[in-house]
Chains A and B, each alone.
Chain A
Amino acid sequence: MLSRFRPAAPGGARLSARALRDGAEAHARRRDGLWPWLFVLPLLAGIGLFYLWPILQTFYFSFTEWGVFGGSTWTGVDNYVRLVSDPDLYSALGNTVLYTAIVLLGIPLAVWLASLLNTPGLRFASFYRVLFFLPYIAMPTAIAMVWRIIFNGDFGILNFLLSLLGIDGPYWVSTPGIAIVAVAIVGLWSSLGFSMIVLGAGLKNISPEYYEAAELDGASPWRQFVSITVPLLAPSIFFVTIITVISSFQLFDLLYAILGSQNPILPKSFSLVYLFYQAGFVTNEKGYAAAIAMVIFLLIGLVTLLQFRLQKKWVSVD
């Protein structure tokens, strides 16, 4: 009875205190004038100069044809017309979405692993945490080198292990369609550590009383996981999902390093950012590259917006 009653009282108190504080803040704002702006100016100047201004410039240049060494001519929407009819855009979009989907599979895995690591009284918990986090802080290029050897079709350890199970493994990094899956496996593996740290922090915020109460009511560990851990972890899961989607949409370095710039199937395995890189720095079409960058920008913005909308349906912050 008591535990049911308890959350309500401080909640109500918090609400009224907050209303008071908001009023005070509004009052303070009027009095402070330009001072607050002065304090955030250094940060704003940096963001303006290195983020907002380049975005505006890129937007402008996406309507131009840009010479290799600068100098641009206005071409209107030509770049976008060409982009919409470029089959490479759709294959790059498909590859990027496939990669993102596979890497997202790592989140349920991370939830499960994080709750295992959070088991009270687990020995060597810090050791395991370090172990899972290591790939995240390792150099992507170094990771790629090692995985490229693992993925080798004839002499790689992965296909050797598969052969023990009687499976004839593919040429992982040189078969169209499979290469992007191979890259995604590495992406999933290397992002697991970060997700687990964030989720682990979220788990620590769940009061043990819920579990005690559930245990008294006779709930199984699985039931506790589904009915307590997952819903209360939802804000952390949401955060990790957003971060993962955004960074997956920016797939470039793993793809570049695992497949190699000479790989004959690379053109079929382009991600969106690779398409941008190819146009901007390999074939010297910077205006076209700017248009691709704007499309990526909009896509990431839209997907993130969509996620914020959808979160209202499943993330409850109380």
Chain B
Amino acid sequence: MTRTPRIRRMPRWAAALAAGAGLTVAIAGCSSGSAGPDQAAGYTAPDKDLTAEITYAFWDATQQDAIEANIAGFNKEYPNITVNLDVTPWEGYWTKVQTQATSNTLPDLFWLNGPNFQLYASNGKVEPITSEIDAGAIDPANYPESLVDLYNLDGTQYGVPKDFDTIGLWFNKKIFEEAGVDTPTADWKWADLTAAAQTISDKLADKGIYGVAAGMDGQTTYYNTIFQAGGDVVSADGTTSGYDSAEDRAGLSFWSDLIASGASPSIPQLTDAPADQWFTSGKVAMFYGGSWARSAIADSEVKDDVDVAPLPAGEQQATVIHGVSNVVAANSTNKQAAQALQVYLASKEAQTEQGDLGAIIPAFNGTQAAFAESYPGVDLQVFLDATAYAKPLPVSKNSAAWNAVEAKLLPDVFSGATDVDSATTDLATQMTALLAKE
């Protein structure tokens, strides 16, 4: 985890004025300005000898090797386009990109994720890919449909996914054996998980081992169970919160019940060490983890004892799917070169290479075989099959605003400090009000 601290040290002079002023500098650093997308440009593949220099920004340094390989392939086609890579760790990425967008200095091509996409698209900060689709350079049918929809706003397509991730039930076979419990199968329902987790927690209590690790993160835990219960976080038209529905409450109670019964470590315990750490140190038998957890687990001490199963079904089977997209800045001065790179990175060739080299699942249909075979003995195919019933990560135009309300109210639900009904009523009211403001 990389964090970006602010420096707190004071200068020697104790002037109150100067002290207060330090705070205001940050906020005034962003001046106003607006820009709309350049509608005129229709996409045509550039000349092979086009000379340009463009910047490509992303946050995941572990993918840098695969991206450099992609760029090398791109440069075989366009030898005179120089691509500068700009890697900013996750914690600082959004602050940086937001500032760049405000001052119209966005990198020519950059990563955007679901929760932030609508914010940038609705403010005209990213270029639609309509012309590339019209020119036949990108075909949205080649990517998982639910993810393509994630990057569509009001009927306009702004990008296609470069990769995707789904959630699965990672489990530790050795702990199951020790507790004498049958390992999870594809037919598991919620009750099967609850019963198994309870038995393991009871039997192995003296070793400090728990059955399942709850989590406080929507994407890996409670969004999945809400979907499985038949609920919705944001309504289809993006105007109301679903949190006060009986289905959503069932999806949340699933976790608070597991914590209350001791089948899962408590919220304070899960704060000191997050769910994935409990799992990789062999202290929980199961956890809801993304396909991205593969590399961390394959490096841990439990690497030979694990396997993965589909998430247990509630009323229905469901998992959250999410993926990053490459988008072109509306203000790019080298739009043709940036779009050429966008097209190349969306190609089957580039995505296959990503899958072979990176820790990710490429989004282009039929290029995922390398991922499925990348962890012998572990059934990673589960994550690919999950696309059949996957639902996209819930987002809206200003997802961050209601994500903050979730982060504020839901921990008390999971810890049992407040009851599900009153907390979700409060959450739904606040969230619907925020959605109305968008």
Q: Give me the interface of A with B, judged by CB distance under 8 Å.
A: 50-55, 57-58, 61, 66-72, 139-141, 144, 152-154, 156, 171, 173-175, 239, 242-243, 246-247, 249-254, 256-257, 260-267, 273, 276, 278, 280-286, 289-290, 293, 296-298, 300-301, 303-305
Contact = CB atoms under 8 A, between A and B. Distances in A.
Contact of A266 (B7, B17, B407): B407
Given A69-B125, A246-B14, A265-B411, A140 B8 contact: yes
Contacts of B268: 153, 171, 174-175
A241 to B, nearest CB: 9
Given A67-B32, A69-B125, 14 more contacts: A50-B25, A52-B21, A71-B34, A153-B268, A246-B19, A250-B22, A254-B8, A257-B3, A260-B1, A283-B404, A284-B400, A298-B20, A300-B16, A303-B16
A71 B32 contact: yes
B400 A70 contact: no
Nearest to B434: A283
B21 A262 contact: no
B18 interface: yes
Main secondary structure on chain B at its contact with chain A? helix
B84 interface: no
27 contacts: A50-B25, A55-B20, A55-B21, A61-B28, A68-B123, A68-B398, A69-B101, A69-B102, A70-B30, A71-B33, A139-B5, A140-B5, A153-B268, A154-B269, A156-B272, A173-B271, A174-B269, A250-B10, A250-B19, A253-B5, A253-B8, A261-B3, A284-B98, A284-B398, A289-B27, A293-B23, A300-B16
Chain B interface size, as a band, is: 35 or more
A20 B433 CA distance: 69
Nearest to A286: B27
Given A267-B408, A289-B27, A261 B91 contact: yes
A181 B395 CA distance: 36
8 closest cross-chain pairs (CB), A and B:
A264-B411, A297-B20, A70-B32, A174-B271, A54-B28, A171-B268, A304-B16, A174-B268
Contacts of A303: 16
Interface in B266-283: 267-269, 271-274
B137 to A, nearest CB: 28
B41 interface: no
A286 B269 CA distance: 34
A51 B19 contact: no
A153 B10 CA distance: 32
A141 B3 contact: yes
B216 interface: yes
Contacts of B3: 141, 256-257, 261
A40 B32 CA distance: 31
Interface in B102-119: 102, 119
A264 B404 CA distance: 11
Contacts, number: 175
B26 interface: yes
B217 interface: yes
Contact of B28 (A57, A156, A247): A57
A230 B149 CA distance: 70
B104 to A, nearest CB: 9
B39 interface: no
A192 to B, nearest CB: 14
B272 A247 contact: no
Contacts of B9: 247
A301 B101 contact: no
Given A284-B398, A301-B17, A171 B272 contact: yes
Interface string B21-54: 1111111111111100000000000000000000
A266 B123 CA distance: 30
Contacts of A283: 398, 400-401, 404
A252 B9 CA distance: 11
B196 to A, nearest CB: 23
B430 to A, nearest CB: 12
B328 to A, nearest CB: 17
A139 B4 CA distance: 12
B95 interface: yes
Given A173-B271, A175-B268, A264-B271, A54 B24 contact: yes
A300 B19 contact: yes
Contact of B23 (A57, A144, A250, A267): A250
A254 B8 CA distance: 9
Contacts of B29: 54
A170 B394 CA distance: 36
A171 B125 contact: no
B401 A284 contact: yes
A149 to B, nearest CB: 10
Contacts of A55: 20-21, 24
A94 to B, nearest CB: 16
B6 interface: yes
A253 B6 contact: yes
Given A68-B98, A69-B101, A243-B14, A58 B271 contact: no
Contact of B10 (A171, A173, A246): A246
B128 to A, nearest CB: 17
Interface string B375-413: 000000000000000000000001011001001101100
B310 to A, nearest CB: 26
Contacts of B101: 69
B411 A58 contact: no
Contact of A296 (B20, B208, B398): B20
Contacts of B31: 70
B343 to A, nearest CB: 26
A70 B33 contact: yes
Contacts of A276: 23
Question: Which of B5, B20, B101 lies at the interface centre, i.e. has the most chain A CB atoms within 10 A of its CB?
Answer: B20
Nearest to A251: B8
B24 A293 contact: yes
A153 B26 CA distance: 35
B28 A58 contact: yes
A261 B123 CA distance: 27
Interface centre among A70, A243, A261, A298, by most chain B C-beta atoms within 10 angstroms, is A70
Contacts of A264: 216, 267, 271, 407, 410-411, 414-415
Given A253-B8, A262-B217, A293 B14 contact: no
B271 A265 contact: yes
A152 B21 contact: no
A256 B5 contact: yes
Contact of A141 (B5, B272, B408, B411): B5
Given A54-B24, A70-B32, A153-B272, A253 B411 contact: no
